[in-house]
Amino acid sequence: MSLAEQMDTVTDAAAGTVDRHATTQTFESTAPTTGAVVGVFPVHDEAAVGETVARARTAAEQWAALGWDGRKQRLSAYRGYLARRMHELADLVYRENGKPHADAILEITLAVDHLAWAAGHARKTLGLRKVASGMLAANHAAYLEYQPLGVIGVIGPWNYPVFTPMGSIAYALAAGNAVVFKPSEHTPAVGAWLAAAWRAAVPDVPDAFQVVTGNGSTGAALCRVPVDKLAFTGSAATGKKVMAACAETLTPVLMELGGKDAMIVDDDADVVAAADAAVWGAMSNGGQTCIGIERVYATSAVYDRFVAEVTAQVQKLRPGSDGEATYGPMTMSSQIDIVRRHVADAAAAGARVVTGGTDPDAVPAEGYVAPTVLLDVPEDSSAITEETFGPTLTITRVRDAEEALERANATSYGLAGAVFSASKDRAMDLARRMRSGMTSVNSVLTFASVPALPFGGVGESGFGRIHGEDGLKEFTRAKAITRQRVALPVNLMSFGRPEKAADALARVMGMVHGRHR
Ligand code: NAD
């Protein structure tokens, strides 16, 4: 089947999911590499979103009733379906997002791995279990389980259109919820493909995972409907609007927002490896990575060698749209203005632009940003304080790793970061004191590929966690149950308790706890 035919199928499939409602408005998704139309999708209004969520409510009951084994088997079928069609999905990601095919394959691989982990660990993490009853309720059995919330709304961005939303979708489904997903208006075809794949792989509960398409107004409708929890991934500015809308219905929210991640390069670091990781962390996917490295703080001992190595490596990068390109165009053309502003602000404040910059001759065509390395950028410059989200890297000389940590932490964001040091203890200490949700030592972004590790930020990078046990629990409510096993002769929680019972209890407490000072 040709790609055009595949796209027709995808668009039809999307219509199958969501166009059982009469929606008049449509929008086009276009390829950032060529401007060609990738697909035409409905703009779902509040009524359409409401109908989709209502169907999801019915499906949530069917899905929950399947039990752990039934859900695991269907999530495995879905994972298998994605794994068998990886190239097809990667082609679509390339067309709609612009990233190289190999990067798309990597992204899909991560998503499939997370699906497997979430399905495989849901029962152990969330299922009914007994916990210690404690002294006061020794005659009772105590139980804990994590129950699904119902319907989870997922609003996603365009930069990792498979991996990022799947961090919420896979874990929410594995926990027993139904999901309604609103993909970014820049990548609706990928979202529609994922939902169509679900219907094909899990035909007996097709509405457990559905998609609605549209721009911010469709996302806002999903907040108002309401759903039982809203998992949002996107910018901090939109996250604030989502929280405000969800506050109206007391809908809980998960916020996966932007970042300004830093790398610390210590005196004893492997400078070549650190430079390689910094260049990949900053420039892959055109720098459009929430956990991408945007700032490096290198100690005086390694700074010159590090800058020389980064410069040499960056000169080998080639933005473009062919099979040899290292990264593609900016997915959203409006982002180019932000990147240019940050580079221009830095240059105006005295920074040195050692590669790239805003020179239009340095890129193959409009829509691309050259790999840009900035030195000596003042700490109050927008290239240091705001999320740039482009293939840029600032490198700053610092006295030592302590100063590097202080500067790394001096940001309103706190998503992730990296430490390069040969000393395990030193690196671990720096990593633990880095104010971020995730840090990798002697590599970049690795935590995202470890399904057992939670993923999320602090400060303006958001709150709540996807991935790992925390990610499963995020889409549940804890349910506590006690069951009286035997009745005691004296029941303290009864108006019939003897008068002296309180004195006896105080004496016992004095003996057990009173000796602690
Ligand atoms: P964005 O905030 O512009 O949009 C995100 C989503 O929100 C889109 O689907 C959009 O249609 C929707 N939306 C817009 N207005 C809305 C409203 N009023 N109510 C509800 N939904 C609304 O972000 P983006 O440009 O798509 O993505 C880039 C941002 O996402 C960057 O800041 C990046 O760092 C962040 N990001 C974070 C993570 C993470 O896991 N922390 C992952 C990927 C991207």
**What distance in angstroms lies between residue 188's CA and the mean position of ligand 1's atoms?**
13
| 116-132 pLDDT, tens digit each | 999 999 999 999 999 99
Which helix (H) or strand (E) segment holds residue 140: the answer is strand 140-148
How far apart CA 55 and CA 225 sit, in angstroms, is 13
pLDDT at 13: 46
Q: CA Rg, the chain, in Å?
A: 26
Q: Is 209 left (phi over 0), alpha (psi -120 to 50) or beta?
A: beta
Q: What's the pTM value of the predicted model, to 2 decimals?
A: 0.94
For the chain, the average pLDDT equals 94
* Homologous superfamily assigned to 261-451: Aldehyde Dehydrogenase; Chain A, domain 2 (3.40.309.10)
**What distance in angstroms lies between residue 234's CA and the mean position of ligand 1's atoms?**
2
pLDDT at 23: 58
Q: Which residues of the chain have pLDDT under 50?
A: 1-20, 22
Active site residue 107: no
Residue with the smallest CA separation from ligand 1 atom 10 is 216
| 59-83 pLDDT, tens digit each | 999 999 999 999 999 999 999 999 9
Q: CA 23, 34, 161, 93: dihedral to nearest 10 degrees?
A: 110
Token pair recorded at residue 35: 């401007």
Fold (topology level) of 3-234+468-476: Aldehyde Dehydrogenase; Chain A, domain 1 (3.40.605)
The greatest distance separating any two alpha carbons of the chain, rounded to the nearest whole angstrom, comes to 90
The residue assigned the tokens 């929210």 is: 253
Position in ligand 1 atom list of the atom nearest CA 457: 41
Nearest Cα to Cα of residue 167 among 231, 79, 238: 231
Task: With beta carbons less than 8 A apart as the criterion, state whether 235 and 267 touch.
Answer: no
Token pair recorded at residue 495: 């108006």
**What distance in angstroms lies between residue 233's CA and the mean position of ligand 1's atoms?**
5
CB-based contacts of 433: which residues, under 8 Å, 6+ apart?
Answer: 405, 409
pLDDT at 4: 41
Token pair recorded at residue 413: 């964001």
User: Other C-beta atoms within 10 Å of 286: how many?
Assistant: 29
| 421-437 pLDDT, tens digit each | 999 999 999 999 999 99
Task: With beta carbons less than 8 A apart as the criterion, state whether 16 and 203 touch.
Answer: no
Active site residue 246: no
pLDDT at 27: 97
| Amino acid found at 205 | V
Is the CB of 182 inside a 6 Å radius of any atom of ligand 1?
yes
CA distances 234 to 155, 164, 254, 413, Å, are 8, 10, 11, 13
Q: 319 forms bridges with which residues in the sheet?
A: 327
Which helix (H) or strand (E) segment holds residue 427: the answer is helix 424-433
| 225-281 pLDDT, tens digit each | 999 999 999 999 999 999 999 999 999 999 999 999 999 999 999 999 999 999 999
pLDDT at 337: 93
Is the CB of 220 inside a 6 Å radius of any atom of ligand 1?
yes
- In a mutational test of the pocket of ligand 1, which residue from 43, 162, 233, 436 has the highest number of ligand atoms less than 8 Å from its CB? 233
How far apart CA 284 and CA 292 sit, in angstroms, is 8
Domain ranges of the chain: 3-234+468-476, 261-451
- Active-site annotation holder among 290, 294, 387, 460: 290
Which is it for strands 129-131 and 140-148: parallel, antiparallel or unpaired?
antiparallel
Task: With beta carbons less than 8 A apart as the criterion, state whether 100 and 453 touch.
Answer: no
Is the CB of 156 inside a 6 Å radius of any atom of ligand 1?
yes
Q: In what side-by-side order are the strands of the sheet with 151-155?
A: 209-211, 178-182, 151-155, 229-233, 253-256, 462-463
How far apart CA 20 and CA 252 sit, in angstroms, is 28
Token pair recorded at residue 167: 């961090």
Is the CB of 234 inside a 6 Å radius of any atom of ligand 1?
yes
Q: 477 forms bridges with which residues in the sheet?
A: 147
Residue with the smallest CA separation from ligand 1 atom 14 is 216
* Preceding omega of 226 cis (within 30 degrees of 0): yes
